[in-house]
Structure 1
Amino acid sequence: MNDTRKTAAIIGASRALGLGLATEYVHRGWDVIGTVRGSHRTGLHDLADASGGRLTIESLEMTEPEQISALRDRLARHTLDLLFVNAAITRGDVPISDVPTDMFTEVMITNALSPMRVVESLRSLVTPTGTIGVMSSSQGSIALNTRGGQDLYRASKSALNQLMRCYAARHAEDTRTLLLMDPGWVRTELGGPDADLSVEESIPGVVETIESHQGKRGLHFLDYEGQVVPW
C-alpha cells in the first residue's frame, strides 16, 4: 500500500454530486470510502468495480443515529484526510405557510441535523491537518436571498450553515479546515434541468477549492470557483 495515498470519506455518494466527488477523487489517486443508502446497486458500485480497489462502499442511512454510530465503529481504524458530507432533499417550491409539519421536520433533519451528527461522530477520524466539508448552497445565504422562493430548502441550508458556525466555535482550537461548499446551480434531480452547470463542470472546481484550502484552519463558506459566499 502506498503510504502517501490520501483517503476521503464521501457521505452520500451514490449519485449526482456525491458520485461526482467520489469519481473525481478516485481519478486523482485517492482512496475513497463512499456511502449509499440501502443495498441496491448504484453508480457508485460501477465506479468501485473500475477503481482497482481504491473505492470501498459502506451503507448508511444518515437520518438514523444508530447507523452513524455503526459506521464510526466500522471506520475506526481509518485515518481520513477528508470527510465530506453530501446530502440534501427538497420538497418543492412551497411557501412556508403551506409547508406541513412533517415535511418541515423531514427536510430539516436530512439537510441540517443529520450532516452535523455525521461530522460530530466521525471528526476524530480526520487527521489534524485534514478537512471536514459539508455541501451547502448559495440558497443558504441570507445576504443573497433577494428573490425568495424555496423557503424550506433555503431555511434548511441556512440552519446547516449556522450549525457549522456553532461547531467551529465549539472546536475553536481545532487545526482542521472546515468548509461549507456551494457547488453552484447544478443539473441534478434537486437542481432541475434548467440549471447552469453539469456535475462534470461543478465538481472539479469543488475539489480544487477543497484542495487549495487544505491547511487553512477555521470555517470557510466558498463556492466551486473558490469565491467566498456571503453569510
Structure 2
Amino acid sequence: MEMTKTVLVIGASRGLGLALAEEYCRRGYQVIATVRKPSEALIRLQQAYPGTLEIEDNVDIVQLHEVRSLQQRLHARTLDVLFVNAGISRATEQTPLQVEEQDYWEMLLTNALSPMRVIELFHAQVTQQGVIAVMSSELGSITQSTGFWELYSSSKAALNMLMKAFAARHPHDPRALLLIAPGWVRTDMGTADAVLDVSESIPRVVDVVTQNEGKPGLRYMDRFGEILPW
C-alpha cells in the first residue's frame, strides 16, 4: 500500500501559500501549514480536510527562535516536500535612493535570509527522494531584469544566490532543490494588476514539484517546468 506523503508549507495564511496547502490537500498529502497568527481561511480549509491538514501557529519566518521551535516540535517527522513560501514586498515603485532602509532590510530578511534558515534547519528531515522548494520569482533573474520592482527583484536574486550557495555546499545531495517562479499572480502581494489567477499558477507549481521528485540538483524553474536564466 502506498504511504501518504507529507508536505510542510511555510507561510500558508493567505495567497500562494494558502493555495499550496489547499492543492496538496486535494492531492491527498498530509499537509503541515505554518502561519504567523491564526488564519480564518486556513482554519476553514482544515475543516474541509479534517485529519489531513495540520496548522502550526506562531511561526514567523523572520523569528529564528520560532523556526527552531517548530523544527523541534516536528523533529520526528519525515517530509517528502518542504515548500518555503513566505515573502513580502515593500517599496515596489521606489529606487535605492528613495526607499526607507527598514523596508529594504525587512525584504531581504523575509525573502532571502529567512527561507534559507528554514532549509538549513529542515534539510535533513526531507527524504532523499524528496524536494526542497522555495517560492522565487521571474523577477529574481538578473539576466532577464527590466528594472521592474527593482528592490523586490534584488531580494529574490539574493534568495537565488543563497540557494545556489547552499547547493554548492551540498554537491552530492540526492534531493531536488527548486527555486520556483509562479508567475505574476493576483494576490495581496502580487496586486490586482497581476495577470494570473491563483488557479492558473499553483496547480502547475505543484506539478513541477512532483515531476522533480527523485531528481537531484538545483534548478531555477517557472510554473511550466522550464529552466529560467540566472
TM-score by length of 2: 0.96
Corresponding residue SS for 1:47: helix
- Of residues 185-194 and 163-172 in structure 1, the stretch that sits farther from structure 2 once superposed is 185-194
CA apart distance, 1:42: 2.6
Distance in 1 (alpha carbons) for counterparts of 2:2 and 2:227? 33
Q: What is the root-mean-square deviation in Å for CA atoms of aligned residues?
A: 1.1
2:84–2:134 contact (8 Å) kept in structure 1: yes
Corresponding residue SS for 1:98: coil
The letter of the residue matching 1:85 is V
Aligned to 1:181: 180
Matched, 1:112 2:104: no
CA apart distance, 1:3: 6.1
Corresponding residue SS for 1:148: coil
Corresponding residue SS for 1:220: strand
CA displacement 1:115-145 (0-9 Å, x = unmatched): 0000001111111111000000000000111
Distance in 1 (alpha carbons) for counterparts of 2:74 and 2:85? 18
Gaps of 5+ in 2: none
CA displacement 1:41-97 (0-9 Å, x = unmatched): 331111111102100000201101100110000001110000000011111311111
TM-score by length of 1: 0.96
**1:19 and 1:41, CA in 2 relative to 1: closer, same or farther beyond 3 A?**
closer
Aligned to 1:190: 189
Aligned to 1:136: 136
Aligned to 2:214: 215
Distance in 2 (alpha carbons) for counterparts of 1:137 and 1:7? 25
2:128–2:214 contact (8 Å) kept in structure 1: no
Distance in 1 (alpha carbons) for counterparts of 2:10 and 2:144? 27
- Percent of residue pairs bearing the same amino acid type: 47
Distance in 2 (alpha carbons) for counterparts of 1:149 and 1:143? 13
- Of residues 4-13 and 91-100 in structure 1, the stretch that sits farther from structure 2 once superposed is 91-100
Distance in 2 (alpha carbons) for counterparts of 1:67 and 1:3? 33
The letter of the residue matching 1:113 is L
Gaps of 5+ in 1: none
The letter of the residue matching 2:87 is A
Aligned to 1:125: 125
Distance in 2 (alpha carbons) for counterparts of 1:177 and 1:42? 33
Aligned to 1:202: 201
User: Which segments of structure 1 move beyond 2 Å, counting only runs of 4 or more?
Assistant: none
1:80–1:126 contact (8 Å) kept in structure 2: yes
Aligned to 1:84: 83
Corresponding residue SS for 1:97: coil
1:9–1:33 contact (8 Å) kept in structure 2: yes
